[in-house]
Chains A and B, each alone.
Chain A
Amino acid sequence: MIDFGYTLSKSGTLKIENLDDSRFKALHKLEPDAYKCINCGSCTASCSAGVFTELSLRKILLSLQRGEEKDYINQLQSCMLCGKCMLVCPRGINTRHLILSISKIYNTVDR
């Protein structure tokens, strides 16, 4: 390949129709509430870790639904499983349990 001295930047468009959602489907089986989020942001606003880190449960969940988890999934490592997000969620999602299931299916924890 000839080196022209520049690279093409990656397309930023969301490839929603080629989405590989096999893992999200597996998550949905474990967590029927995984689709219930309305992106209200309460979890992120109240998150104990969110003040110091980038952690946003809302963004993680949305990125999983869109098959774009790569950039977000590592955020979960700062989660302290304090459960505050669960107290505030207006859709009554058991977020703590959901986080554990995400970790299991997306292998974010060493087993």
Chain B
Amino acid sequence: MAKENVVVIGGGPCGIEVARNLRDLGYTPILLEQQSELGGHLRLWDRLFPEGVEARKVLKELTGDLKGVKWFTDVNIESIQKSRKGYTVNVDTGMSFQTKALVVTTGFKLFPAENKQEYGYNIYERVITNADLEQYFHTRKDPRIQNPKTIGFVHCVGSRDEKACNRQCSKVCCATAVKQASEIKELFPDAIVYCFYMDLRLFGRSYEDMYLTAQRKYGVRFIRGRVSEVSEDIDGKLFVKAEDTLLGKPMKMKLDLLVLMTGILPGDSTKQLSEMLKIQTGEDGFFTPRDTILEPCMAKDGGLFMAGTCTGPKTIPETLSEARAAAIQVHKYLSK
């Protein structure tokens, strides 16, 4: 008997893991990815918190075992029809796929840092993002990073900010900032590194150890105050304004490099699919599952499943766990 197809939309870590698990459960997963390579944001990252595992190693593990998965890159979804028999997914290469169960793993996008003009990304020379810094850790090439002596990390860029139209916390950027602050100190031991935060959200197992190491081993200076604005002087040095709220004193400081911890927003295809499939979304734009506690991987509509960061910010292990859970839910649904 021919194996049953299951379409998975989005070829990041989540979609890959859903597909691999569906394959193990006896299906033929059809994994559709918009970009020219599988892997999503994992491709752009160097190391993962808390232990600093190499992102590429994780990606290799995931993509190294795709036997039995039919995957397609460079495809865009043109339309999806729903009938009593399930879904027909039509893509721009002319192909179309039938599936009784449809899994959506469209992920997130990083907040576009240039939208927060007061921080000067793409305006001032030495302002970079968390994603730029990961790229630098990997390639060691970035003209904006020239042996910096003073470095600042700005938490909550595009998160917890009504002005950026995102009230929510992105959850992973505090841990990322602590990780990156330690890593950059490793590269530039003489540099003074500051983290400007409103609240430090280090929620996971052993994340607190990462924080302790940043304090004790690397001497990262944590300042409880949000950066309110940045300007540049004639030599390209950055002037940063914040209040040290614990001391209760406004401060102005000169920095050689500023790293913006951009937050997590729903991916563009999340929006596109929510319109196509009429999937309910919250005010934040992420998909709303049938039940956020008991059925986090199911949409209201039977046959439609979702996993990973298309339902909100998550760490990689959380995403992978949810991917496996979604695969089991699909299997249960199709076995009925």
Contacts and interface: CB of A to CB of B under 8 A. Distances in A.
Interface of A: 38-47, 50-51, 56, 58-59, 87-92
B228 A39 contact: no
Contacts of A58: 243, 245
A46 B245 contact: no
Residues of B in contact with A, size category:
20 to 34
A88 B118 contact: yes
Contact of B248 (A42, A43, A59, A89): A59
B250 A44 contact: yes
23 contacts: A38-B198, A40-B245, A41-B224, A41-B225, A41-B242, A43-B228, A44-B243, A44-B245, A45-B225, A45-B228, A45-B242, A46-B229, A46-B241, A47-B250, A56-B248, A87-B163, A88-B229, A90-B156, A90-B160, A90-B161, A90-B163, A90-B198, A90-B226
Contacts, number: 65
Interface centre among B198, B228, B244, B245 (most CB of A within 10 A): B228
A41 B226 contact: yes
Contacts of B229: 45-46, 88
B251 interface: yes
A41 B243 contact: yes
A88 B228 contact: yes
Nearest to A90: B161
Nearest to A43: B228
Contacts of A41: 224-226, 228, 242-245, 250
Contacts of B226: 40-42, 45, 90
